[in-house]
Structure 1
Amino acid sequence: MKTLHTFFTLLLLASGLMACNAQSTTGFTNISEKEFAEKAQAENTIILDVRTPQEVAEGRIAGASLFIDINDSQFAEKMQALDKSKTYLVYCRSGARSSKASSWMAENGFSQVYNLKGGILGWSGTIEK
């Protein structure tokens, strides 16, 4: 009987952890390249590149229409001017800066924020110059 109780306790714990993985406690969701490409097709979706202007000049994910350097001294002001009702797909070079930007967005009232795991380095789709 104790073994059965332990089994169900572990099963419940595992289910809870899996549910937490879908939407992190950070308020945004890390998504794969495939999910990113699928979500990019939806209406009211904006692809946000948070890399430096020099990085953007080297190439960007096709469809990226908004470029706000996370290191810009006016980053917060520029972000506050965005429409919070839109869905944002955020990326950078490797996923670290975009994760930071996504977290900032979630903390500041943006509800539909998705971060590209691996950034543009992990992107195998079209790159525009």
Structure 2
Amino acid sequence: MLPLFAFFGLFQGPAPAYKNLAPAQFSKAMSQKGVLLLDVRRPDEFAGGHLPGAVNIDVTAPDFAQRVAALDKTRPTYVYCRSGARSTRAANQLTQAGFVHISNLIGGVLEWPEKLVR
């Protein structure tokens, strides 16, 4: 028999090891000194417009794990994509790779209220 909390859907499993931030929270947090801003979209999407100061590493590329392994895992890392799906995937991979402070932009650049740069 299932425990009562599981029966009513109250148990959702462990929380992600990263934070999901709304655009306003993400904007404020990413402006701090020493952060890594990671755009995980394809290079053509990045070239079409990205957040200022972002580094582009495509989460769907076969060398994604190798490329992020070369980054400083202790730096606060802010990750985003177009809608939030790929950045969620990337945040999970970064967690597994040992990154300590990860934040994910909810809604991606589709929800970003500020102008993107090229």
Q: Which interval holds the TM-score relative to the shorter structure? A: 0.7 to 0.9
1:1-129 matched pairs, under 5 angstroms: 25-64=15-54, 66-129=55-118
* CA distance, structure 1, for counterparts of residue 71 and residue 53 of structure 2: 18
**Bigger share in helix:** 1
Q: Residue type of the partner of 1:96? A: A
**Structure of greater Rg:** 1
1:77-128 per-residue CA deviation (whole Å, 9 max, x = no partner) reads 0011110110111000000000000011112211100000000010011210
Q: What is the aligned-residue identity percentage?
A: 36
* CA distance, structure 2, for counterparts of residue 76 and residue 102 of structure 1: 12
* Deviation beyond 3 Å, 4+ runs, structure 1: none
> So what's the TM-score if we normalise by structure 2?
0.85
**Bigger share in strand:** 1
Where in structure 2 are there 5+ consecutive unaligned residues?
1-10
* CA distance, structure 2, for counterparts of residue 78 and residue 117 of structure 1: 24
Q: Report the RMSD for the aligned CA atoms in angstroms.
A: 1.6
* CA distance, structure 1, for counterparts of residue 59 and residue 86 of structure 2: 7
